[in-house]
């Protein structure tokens, strides 16, 4: 019985180290993205504020952060959140001069596509893709 406990604790510790590594990687990626966009890199360290900064990079106003709470509303809220996050990802991609397809990739496999933006010397920030108000022109 003791061997099983030790094995489970070892697996849990390994999983925890793996998750910590992913978290550190995402902080580095966001730090680089923010600096490319002319925002302070340290904002990547502060939860919620880093989302506000990323909204600013896309061109949304700060209060659009409340759209992420739509997932709490059954069915219609989840659909609205899905549409917003797809549109948001496309706007981030366009803010860095990338295509709609790249934005879909950013939505589906965010860590990979965000790292491509962050570490590519060929991709630069071109400015906000939105003028402050929400639009779903890329989706419809």
User: Tokens 């295509």 identify what position?
Assistant: 99
Above 80 in pLDDT, residue 138?
no
Give the single-character DSSP code of 138: T
Neighbours of 2 (CB within 10 A): 6
Phi, psi (rounded to 5 degrees) for 18: -60, -50
- Taken in order 34, 39, 42, 46, the sign of the CA dihedral is negative
pLDDT in tens, 102-134: 999 999 999 999 999 999 999 999 988 887 666
Q: What is the pLDDT of residue 137?
A: 66
Residues 6 or more apart in contact with residue 129 via CB below 8 angstroms: 58, 59, 90, 91, 92, 94, 95
pLDDT the model gives residue 136: 63
More confident residue, 108 or 83: 108
66-80: burial string, b at 16+ Cβ within 10 Å, e else: ebeebeeeeeeeeee
Q: What band does 31 get if pLDDT is binned at 50, 70 and 90?
A: very high
| Mean pLDDT (whole number) for 16-22 | 95
Q: What is residue 132's predicted lDDT score, i.e. its pLDDT?
A: 62
Percent of the chain with pLDDT over 70: 93
Cβ atoms of 68 and 101 within 8 Å: the answer is no
Residues 59-82 have a mean pLDDT of 86
Q: Which residue intervals of 37-75 are DSSP H helices?
A: 49-58
Report the DSSP beta bridge partners of residue 60.
Answer: 132
Q: Quick one: pLDDT band at residue 35, thresholds 50, 70, 90?
A: very high
Q: What is the pLDDT of residue 60?
A: 87
């Amino acid at each position: 019985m003791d061997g099983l406990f030790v094995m489970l604790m070892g697996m849990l510790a390994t999983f925890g180290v793996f998750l910590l590594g992913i978290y550190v990687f995402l902080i580095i990626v966001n730090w680089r993205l923010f600096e490319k966009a002319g925002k302070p890199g340290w904002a990547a360290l502060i939860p919620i504020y880093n989302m506000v900064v990323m909204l600013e990079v896309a061109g949304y106003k700060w209060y659009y952060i409340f759209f992420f709470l739509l997932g709490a509303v059954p069915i219609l809220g989840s659909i609205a959140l899905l549409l917003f996050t797809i549109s948001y990802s496309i706007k981030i991609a366009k803010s860095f001069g990338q295509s709609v397809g790249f934005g879909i990739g950013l939505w589906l496999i965010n860590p990979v596509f965000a790292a491509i933006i962050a570490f590519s010397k060929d991709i630069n920030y071109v400015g906000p893709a939105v003028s402050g108000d929400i639009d779903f022109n890329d989706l419809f």
